[in-house]
Structure formats: structure tokens, C-alpha cells
Amino acid sequence: MTISAEHYDELVAIRHHLHENPELSGQEFETTAYIKAYLENLTIEILETGLKTGLVAQVGQGEPVIALRADIDALPILENTGLPFASKNAGVMHACGHDLHQTSLLGAAKVLKQRETELNGTVKLIFQHAEEAHFGATDVLATGILSDVQAIIGYHNMPTLPAGQIGIREKGVMAAVDQFFVTVTGIGSHAAYPHEGADSIVATSAIVSSLQQIVSRNMDPQRAVVVSVTHMAAGNTWNVLPDTAIFEGTIRSFEQADRALAKQRFYDIVENVANAYGVTVDIDWILGTNVTYNDPELSAFLLDETSRWHDDVVVPELSNAGEDFASYQEQIPGVFAFIGSNGPGSPGLHFSDMTVKDEAIPVAVDYYVNNTFALLEKLGQ
């Protein structure tokens, strides 16, 4: 273990503080100030980025240059854990474990600063805002602060994996995310005289039912694609058929061809079923994050290196969740790992009763620190 018992206790206190004081995407002002103060106390350089929240710091000097990333935002969820350090900000919760992510990167920052003379290169430390809103990584990249970075690593905690287990796999590891919002417009009428209108509710129900065929009858069953309609709304009383109805949801995929086909079939089904029912549709398609795609060479290298110092390393299953770490990987070779944070049967990510174990902190710090030295050595050859 890289960190001392004293340092571990310090990091536990930090995580509990961050968990108690969560902030939503783009509003992480106090969180950013807390991180900045901690790093400045270690005399770690804070780089000028112009970001309103989140920050990028730096240790070491010269080439090669790598980056370590942690996200810092929370979710609009009312916490239901009963923890003594539960959220003090009602309706906001670190239900995705970003408190663990940023704590472990702070821990790694301290270790790397203490060992700065051993670093054969530069390490940029990204404390990223707004991952949950999917614009934080894009903001960081737009600053140009990562233009010299040759490799980037990050991780996401997984509360359903045993605390401290590390999962690394090559290529796709988390899904591409697309979002849709559809307005169905018919002709409202009295409920007793449906023939005088065009029923938006019946049409919407038929559309939603038909959308399930995108996966079952269009996609290779050996490849993962998910279509989920998560919200429907129409009308406001019992005896009137409404003019309009809406539905929204998401599509998750791991292959670009599947992503494109799913979108095309979505439009085909929505528009053609609507035409059959005599209604019109307006489709708002929101392009989300791309596939979190791990560089094959770096993944194989880090899987081997991590297995040298840790005895619980696995090739994990794919996750249908999305991650804006994918935006970094579109420009920089990168690896995104999973680190277990609780155990099988535990509440998953985004659950109001999700908890992580502090025992995952040392492993996460080691993941950053040990792989920093391994990457700098590899890239410096």
C-alpha cells in the first residue's frame, strides 16, 4: 500500500467531508475551493484554465506528459443511506461515488508530490466538473491545457464489485449514450367521441411498443444495445383526449454501426407508426457521450502492470452506463478502469442508498500512483 495509516485516516476524513457537502454539475464552487486549498497546501501548482469550477494541477516536469482524472460533481438525489456523514445539502447526493474519485486523486497528488524527484516527466491532475451533465470533459479539453498529454487514465468505482477489486479491459468498456425526446401531436377530442380526433395517447403507446423491436429484430444478439423509454406524459383529466403526448428515453450501444442503425430505425419507427395513426411527431435527438474506448495497447500494458502489485485484478463486464471520459479518449490514448467499492448485492450507482467503503481508497490511490510511474517509464523509452 502506497499510503501510510496516518494518510489513510486523513483521506477518510476528506471523503466524508466531500460526501457531506455535494454540489451539482457546474455548481462545484465550494468543492473546487476545497481541492485547491488542499493542493496549494502541498505546494502543488494549479494551472490557469479559466474554468469556473474544477481545476487542473501539475507535478513533475518535462516529458513525457500524462494525466490523471477524477470527477467531482454530485447528483440531484435525496440521500437515503443513514450515514453519519450523509449529505447536508438536501436533494443532492454523491450517489455515483465521485467523492471517492476525488479523494483518491488528492491522495495520489500528495504521494506524487512527496516523490516528485522520482518522476521522469509531468503529471497533470484533472479534477473535472460536470461529468453527470456530460460537458465537463469537453470544457477541460477546450482550454487546451491537455494538448501535450500523451496518455490519460481514470477510473469509476463500482459498488457492486468487492471493495478494492480492479477491473481493466481493452476497447469498449462503457456505452455510447444517446437521448431522445419526442412530442406526438394529434387532435384532441371528447373521450366519448374519439373518432372526431386523432388520439395522441394510443399513437404514443404503439410507437413505444414498436421501439422494442429495434434491439430484438435489428441488432446482433451478440452485441449489447439497450433502448429504454423512461418517461411518458399526456393529458390532465379523465374525459378529454389530449392534443399532445410526450415520451423520452435513451439508447446505449458499444459499436458505431449499431449506434447509427439504432438511430435510423428509431426515426423510421416513430415517423411511420405516427403516420399510420394520423398524428405528427417532433423528434429531439440529443447526442451524448461516445463509447468509453480503452486504448488496446495501453490497456494490455496497465492490466499487466497492475497485476504485478495487486492480487485482485479482473477483466470486468461491460457497463451500459456512459462516461464523458470518452471525450478525452477521442484525443488522447487512455484507459478507464473499474475499482470495486462495496460488494455484490450492494445498491448500484445512482441509487439513493448507495454507499462505498473507505477500504477502496488505498487501492484507488495505488492505481493512480503506481500506474503513473509505469506509464512515464513506458512513454519515456
Q: Per the annotation, does 129 bind a ligand?
A: no
The answer to whether 271 is annotated as binding is no
User: Are both 345 and 199 inside the same structural domain?
Assistant: no
Residues 6 or more apart in contact with residue 47 via CB below 8 angstroms = 55, 56, 57, 58, 124, 145
Domain final residue pick, 259, 287, 315: 287
Total domains, the chain: 2
Query: Looking at the structure, do residues 164 and 188 belong to the same domain, yes or no?
Result: no
Q: Does residue 156 have a known ligand-binding role?
A: yes
Q: Which of 235, 267, 287 corresponds to the end of one domain? A: 287
- Count CB atoms within 10 A of the CB of residue 304: 12
Is there a single domain that holds both residue 97 and residue 180? no
| 270, 287, 304 - which closes a domain | 287
Is it the case that residue 183 has pLDDT exceeding 80?
Answer: yes
350 marked as binding residue: yes
169 with 180, same domain: the answer is no
Residue 42 has a pLDDT of 98
pLDDT surpasses 80 at 202: yes
Q: Which pTM does this prediction carry?
A: 0.93
Residues 18 and 144 in one domain: yes
- pLDDT given at position 64: 98
SS3 300: helix
- Looking at residues 287-298, what average pLDDT do you find? 96
| CB-based contact 339:164 (threshold 8 Å) | yes
Please state, rounded to an integer, the average pLDDT across all residues of the chain. 97
Q: What confidence tens digit (pLDDT) does each residue in 105-116 have? A: 999 999 999 999
Segment 159-167 mean pLDDT:
97
- 315-352 pLDDT, tens digit per residue, is 999 999 999 999 999 999 999 999 999 999 999 999 99
Q: Same structural domain for residues 151 and 231? A: no
Determine the average pLDDT of the residues in 36-55: 98
* 190 shares its domain with 282: yes
96 labeled part of a ligand binding site:
yes
Give the model confidence (pLDDT) of 295-321 as tens digits: 999 999 999 999 999 999 999 999 999
Give the domain CATH number at 375.
3.40.630.10
Same domain flag for 16 and 164: yes
Residues 29, 137 within the same domain = yes
Using the structure block, give the residue that is written with the C-alpha cell 384532441: 188
Are residues 9 and 139 located together in one domain of the fold? yes
Separation CA 195–CA 189 (nearest Å): 8
Q: What pLDDT is recorded for position 293? A: 97
Supply the range of the domain harboring residue 134: 5-173+291-379
pLDDT over 80 (residue 1) = no
pLDDT of residue 381: 84
Same domain, 30 and 163: yes
pLDDT one-digit tens code per residue, 104-149:
999 999 999 999 999 999 999 999 999 999 999 999 999 999 999 9
Question: Count of H helices and E strands in the chain?
Answer: 10, 16
Q: Are residues 41 and 163 in the same domain?
A: yes
